[in-house]
Amino acid sequence: MKLSGNIERKVLYSELHKKLKEVDRFTMPEVPFSHFLPTKRKFRADFLMPVLKIIIEVNGGQFTGGRHTRGGDGYENDLVKINLAQIHGYKVLQFTYQMLKRGEHLKVLQMINNTTSSCVKL
């Protein structure tokens, strides 16, 4: 049975959250930047891994002309958000839903897991 696009994305998002919590148990979804960075901008991190200072962004719409690919204000705001996070010492990892479907995030999470200490998984 094939899932509709929105349901499939929600399932992928939920599965990603579970995998991220295996690496940093304090991982939180949809965290406003103002909760962890000095900004009044209404940016939001798809996932925040606070112990590791990693932000995970899931970008969609690259095949349908979504905000991440068509330029303009949406794309520039994304760049401002990423730059702000990096200036404050956060690593920003970005995936598309297609990358999640192919399991590419699993390789990256394994690399992160291999380079972090066991205290992260407390």
24-57: pLDDT as tens digits:
999 999 999 999 998 888 899 999 999 999 999 9
pTM for this model (two decimals): 0.81
Say how many domains are in the chain: 1
Indicate whether 6 belongs to any domain. no
Indicate whether 122 belongs to any domain. no
For residue 106, give its domain range: 23-113
Place of tokens 């929105």: 6
Indicate whether 11 belongs to any domain. no
pLDDT at 63 > cutoff 70:
no
Indicate whether 119 belongs to any domain. no
Indicate whether 47 belongs to any domain. yes
Indicate whether 9 belongs to any domain. no
Cα–Cα distance list, 18 to 21, 24, 40, 109, 116 (Å): 5, 10, 29, 12, 18
Q: What CATH number should be reported for the domain holding residue 82?
A: 3.40.960
Cβ atoms of residues 37 and 68 within 8 Å: no
